[in-house]
């Protein structure tokens, strides 16, 4: 249940919603711009957009070592079951 809000608090909530909508619109525009850039560069360099996006996410999340460990585990498992 929403509490009864004072006039000031109602204005604060309204401002938050308005600002939140602006932020979400900006995020949408930035994502679309990044997608277009990734696609264009991928086509130009013959690199799949999936690979470029994965590289971007990996650097952003700073989790390359974790991905490498996971891959090493999968590689070892596939060697064990002779599935390569």
Task: Tell me whether residue 66 is in a domain.
Answer: yes
Residue 22 domain boundaries:
16-80
Residue 3 lies in a domain: no
What per-residue confidence (pLDDT) applies to 38? 98
Angle at 49 between CA 67 and CA 35, to 5 degrees: 110
Task: Identify the pLDDT of residue 6.
Answer: 94
Number of domains observed in the structure of the chain: 1
pLDDT of residue 3: 86
pLDDT at 83 (0 to 100): 83
Q: In which residue ranges of the chain is pLDDT below 70? A: none
Which pLDDT value is given to residue 53?
Answer: 97
Asked if residue 55 is part of any domain, the answer here is yes
Instruction: Compute CA distances 38 → 9, 54, 56, whole Å.
Output: 43, 11, 10
pTM over 0.75: no
């Amino acid at each position: 249940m929403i509490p009864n809000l004072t006039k000031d608090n109602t204005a604060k909530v309204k401002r938050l919603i308005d600002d939140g909508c602006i932020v979400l619109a900006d995020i949408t525009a930035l994502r679309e711009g990044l997608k277009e850039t990734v696609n264009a560069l991928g086509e130009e360099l013959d690199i799949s957009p999936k690979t470029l996006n994965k590289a971007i996410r990996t650097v952003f999340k700073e989790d390359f070592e974790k991905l490498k460990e996971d891959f090493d585990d999968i590689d070892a498992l596939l060697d064990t079951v002779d599935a390569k």
